[in-house]
C-alpha cells in the first residue's frame, strides 16, 4: 500500500540545513522505498538531493514540511524527522 503523509518540523540545529546536515539527510533518504520531499515556503526539494536541500536555505527556527510518499512512507517520515529533531547528531 502506498501512503502519502506529511509533518511540519522546526530546524533546531545552530547551522541549519548546511552541507554536512544535507548530506546526512540525503543518505538517510535513499534507504527508503519512499519519495521524500522537504517544503519551505514556496521552495521544495527532494530529500535525496544535497544541492536541492541546500537551496532551501533552511536555517535555525525555520519550519519545514516533510512529505513522504511510497510503501514505507511512515518509516521514512519518522526517520527524517528524528534526524532533524536530533539536530543532525551535531550537538550534544
Tens-place pLDDT, residues 7-64: 999 999 999 999 999 999 999 999 999 999 999 999 999 999 999 999 999 999 999 9
Residue 18 annotated in active site: yes
Calpha distance 32→47 (Å, rounded) = 11
- pLDDT range class, residue 1, cuts 50, 70, 90: low
Q: pLDDT class for 78, splitting at 50, 70, 90?
A: very high
- Give domain 18-57+68-92's CATH superfamily: HPr-like (3.30.1340.10)
Q: Which helix (H) or strand (E) holds 74?
A: helix 73-85
Contact 71, 49 (CB under 8 A): no
Task: Indicate the Cα dihedral angle 9, 12, 13, 16, nearest 10°.
Answer: 60
| From 3, 12, 15, 18, active-site residue | 18
Strand order in the sheet with 43-46: 3-10, 63-70, 35-40, 43-46
Annotated domain spans of the chain: 18-57+68-92
Amino acid at each position: 500500500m502506498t501512503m502519502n503523509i506529511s509533518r511540519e518540523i522546526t530546524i533546531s540545529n545552530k547551522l541549519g540545513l548546511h552541507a554536512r546536515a544535507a548530506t546526512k539527510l540525503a543518505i538517510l533518504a535513499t534507504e527508503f522505498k519512499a519519495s521524500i520531499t522537504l517544503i519551505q515556503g514556496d521552495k521544495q526539494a527532494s530529500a535525496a538531493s544535497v544541492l536541492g536541500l541546500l537551496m532551501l536555505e533552511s536555517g535555525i527556527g525555520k519550519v519545514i514540511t516533510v512529505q513522504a510518499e511510497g510503501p514505507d512512507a511512515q518509516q521514512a517520515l519518522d526517520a527524517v524527522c528524528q534526524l532533524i529533531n536530533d539536530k543532525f547528531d551535531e550537538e550534544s
